Chain A
Amino acid sequence: MARGAVSIVVERCKACGFCVEFCPTKVLALSDAFNSKGYHPPHAVTPDKCSGCDLCGMYCPDFAIHGYRLDKAAKAAETEASDAR
């Protein structure tokens, strides 16, 4: 079961490959798809392995990707929901 997830803003990506190379659990790979500038953005090939460490987010020079922990995201969502009530 995945502990984390990645969020990718496809249009900002310039396909430098830092996230793919330095992901400690090798979750990502550059996809075959193009974005509108002609780059191949990354996609998660083994999302189950993601630990949400956000190292991809630290490396990304284009602010296009970031990782987050699912438990923290769920907690934040809960607090937000209770605040709204």
Chain B
Amino acid sequence: MSTTTTPDCKVHPGNPVESFLRTDRMPHIWCPGCGIGTTVNCFTRALIDSKQDLNKLAIVSGIGCTGRVAGYVNLDSFHTTHGRAIPFATGLKLASPETTVVVYSGDGDLFAIGGNHLIHAARRNMDIKVICVNNLTYAMTGGQTAPTTPEDVITATAPYGTYDPAFNLPYLVEAAGAVYVARWTTFHVKQLARSMQEMFAKKGFGFIEVVSPCPTLYQRRNKMGDALDTMKFYKEVSKTKHGAPTSEVGLTKSGEIVVGKFVDRERPDFTTHMHEHLQHSLGDKYIPAEGPVCG
């Protein structure tokens, strides 16, 4: 594969993302201008900057365009059944508490078929980190209406425009009990990488929504231009409001996109809570398991 470098430098450092990729699977299947690759860049930069031990890190993905991330990153990864990324991640975290478990999936996987799992993981405050790439549609299956599709948007299943109210993801996740909730778009690469670092450092259920273009299905059908136009649109309409009340950050078709860190709070996570409770009720009879319980 040809590489052009300018100016000619005898030794140049490789792309930092390269060591995190299964390069034999490149080029990937994502469409030109799809935002998922950009989020992977931010994710790898966050891993490098936070000095994560890569032997103690696992990526869990469900099904969908974003679900392919687990197949493309050269880390311990699970590509699980549709919507069940969070149950797999929960099991992984309980069996191996030392592992940092990251769920990397799309809006359809996490909030449509997997919505119930997500709210319960947030309620229990499982120590897993969820990165949700939200392209506002079911992209892999052809652009049908998803629970995240805003009103008045033309999709494959709504040729006259959608009329259902959409989920406001940060609001839903905060109400369910997450300790860290943020939203960025694929335009905000530096902020997104920093936010991911913050989330890795925090114990408990962390959630980052990344609003991403789907130029092939969403933008094209709605005459919103190509991916570059969408990025310019994000630049124009997004407004950073840290700590904004999540009830007011719902997405609309062409309105303002509120981005920022909305929630950063402390709550005991599931394992801590369980140990405390069992110690309290069983006293000396309770012996907590040490280290990984399997493997």
Residues on A lying within 8 angstroms of B by beta carbon are 2, 5-12, 14-18, 21-22, 39, 43-44, 47, 54-55, 57-63, 66, 68, 70, 72-74, 76-77, 80
Complex Cα–Cα for A39 and B31 (A): 12
What are 7 A-B contacts with C-beta separation under 8 Å? Answer: A5-B6, A11-B2, A15-B32, A16-B227, A61-B34, A63-B41, A73-B12
* B268 contacts partner chain A, Cβ-Cβ < 8 Å: no
Report the nearest A residue to B10, measured CB to CB. Answer: A77
Cα–Cα distance between A17 and B189 once the two chains are bound (Å): 16
Q: Which A residue's beta carbon lies closest to that of B41?
A: A58
Closest 6 CB pairs of A and B: A61-B37, A14-B32, A77-B11, A16-B33, A66-B15, A58-B189
Nearest chain A residue, comparing its CB with the CB of B235: A22
Docked pose: A77 CA to B10 CA in angstroms: 8
Tell me if B193 and A17 are in contact (CB < 8 A): no
Shortest Cβ distance from B268 into chain A, in angstroms? 35
Instruction: Please list the residues of chain B having a beta carbon within 8 angstroms of any beta carbon in chain A.
Output: 1-7, 9-18, 21, 26-28, 30-38, 40-42, 45, 189-190, 193, 226-228, 231-232
Instruction: Tell me, in angstroms, the Cα distance from A43 to B34 when the chains sit together.
Output: 21
| B38 and A73 contact, CB distance less than 8 A | no
User: Which residue from A10, A17, A63, A72 sits with its C-beta under 8 Å from B15?
Assistant: A63
Q: Which residues of A contact B14 (CB under 8 A)?
A: 66
B40 neighbours in A (Cβ, 8 Å): 63
Give the residues in chain B near A70, CB-CB below 8 Å: 9
Which B residues are CB-close (under 8 A) to A16? 32-33, 226-228
Per the bound structure, the CA–CA distance linking A7 and B3 in Å amounts to: 7
Task: Please name the residue on chain B nearest to A58 by beta carbon.
Answer: B189
- Give CA–CA (A20, B32) in the complex, Å: 14
Set of chain B residues within 8 Å of A21, measured between Cβ atoms: 228, 231-232
User: Once the chains bind, are B4 and A10 in contact (CB under 8 Å)?
Assistant: yes
Closest Cβ–Cβ distance, residue A41 to chain B (whole Å): 8
Inter-chain CA distance A7–B2, complex, in Å, is: 10
Q: Are B12 and A7 in contact (CB under 8 A)?
A: yes
Taken together as a complex, chains A and B put the C-alpha atoms of A7 and B6 apart, in Å, by 7
Contact present for B2 and A63 (CB under 8 Å): no
A7 to B1, CA, bound (A): 13
| Closest Cβ neighbor of A66 among chain B residues | B15
